[in-house]
Amino acid sequence: MEWNDRGVVLTTRKHGENDIILEALTTDHGRHLGLVRGGRSQRHRPVLQPGNELNLTWKARLTDHLGSFQVEGNTLRAANLMTTGVGLAGLQHLAFLLKLLPERHPYPRLYDALNVVLDHLDAPDAAAALLIRFELELLRDLGTGLDLSTCAATGQSDDLVYVSPKSARAVSRDAGKPYHDRLLPLPSFLVEGQRQAGSELTWLDVTQGFTLTGFFVTRHVEENNRTAAGTREQLLSALERRYREDFPWNFG
């Protein structure tokens, strides 16, 4: 069995003295693991860093075997990502999120979204918005996507400011007002047409966005008897520090 594909490094772990097991999200073969012989060598080590995009060749005797990877660097962005708190925390959080996907099932839209996020982790405002949207895309692929197009109660598409934790659908201001303490806030940047062009993403927008997606990600984790990681808290702390440095006038 053999195939060629592109893949983004998610994690690596030591296997024996010189080899590693590589976990990557690939374009056509989904989240996939394989052995890299000599992966701990000086030649391979800079390439096999989380966030790098590689050209991969996977070989195995049978389809259900672990198999082995031959790797070649494509987009080597890890060195830049690891110089910032947001980059490091973002890599760890993305790797945790992608472990929620079943292995070996293709998610081409999510693969493209992952590369876009990784290319913008050095810009805190863009990174925050893209990470939140990435979580929404992930939830959709997990079968628990949110419907933010119209109000669950009235069907209207304007003035959507809440999300129902039960139905995962948007709720308008008037319809949700009597139940606002039981609804999740919906930041306007996630609703098409409700954000004014050129307006900056505030820290309130960021926290509301991560609170929204975090609720449904955590519910999915618990429903599938998985263990939640603390990567979200680390990411939010790193983003908050950068926001305070870069956008002090727009904080809160």
Backbone angle region of 17, left / alpha / beta, with phi > 0 → left and psi within -120 to 50 → alpha: alpha
Are 149 and 163 in contact by the 8 Å Cβ rule? The answer is no
Residues 229 and 222: their CA atoms lie apart, in Å, by 12
Among 186, 197, 129, CA closest to 159 = 186
pLDDT score of 198: 52
Q: What per-residue confidence (pLDDT) applies to 124?
A: 85
| Residue 248 confidence (pLDDT) | 82
Of 142, 64, 86, 87, whose CA–CA distance to 109 is shortest? 142
pLDDT at 249: 75
Q: Distance (Å, rounded) from C-alpha 26 to C-alpha 3? A: 11
By C-alpha distance, which of 9, 200, 211 is closest to 114? 9
pLDDT in tens, the chain (252 residues): 999 999 999 999 999 899 999 999 999 999 999 999 999 999 999 999 999 999 999 999 998 899 999 999 999 999 999 999 999 999 999 999 999 999 999 999 999 999 999 999 988 889 999 999 999 999 999 999 999 999 999 999 999 999 999 999 999 999 999 999 999 999 999 997 666 555 678 999 999 999 999 999 999 999 988 888 899 999 999 999 999 988 887 765
Q: CA–CA separation, 152 vs 163, rounded Å?
A: 9
User: Distance between alpha carbon 17 and the CA centroid of its chain, in Å?
Assistant: 32
Helix 108-119 × helix 124-141 angle, to 10°: 170
Judge contact between 143 and 155, C-beta under 8 A.
no
Three-class SS string for the chain? CEEEEEEEEEEEEEECCCEEEEEEEECCCEEEEEEECCCCCCCCCCCCCCCCEEEEEEECCCCCCCCEEEEEEEECCHHHHCCCHHHHHHHHHHHHHHCCCCECCCCHHHHHHHHHHHHCCCCHHHHHHHHHHHHHHHHHHCCCCCECCCCCCCCCCCCEEEECCCCCEEEEHHHHHHHHHHCEECCHHHCCCCCCCCCCCCHHHHHHHHHHHHHHHHHHHHHCCCCCCCHHHHHHHHHHHHHHHHCHHHCC
pLDDT at residue 68 in the model: 97
Task: State residue 246's pLDDT score.
Answer: 86
- The predicted structure's pLDDT at residue 225: 84
Backbone φ and ψ of 25, nearest 5°: -95, 120
**pLDDT recorded at residue 176:** 97
pTM over 0.95: no
- 152 and 183 in contact (C-beta within 8 Å)? no
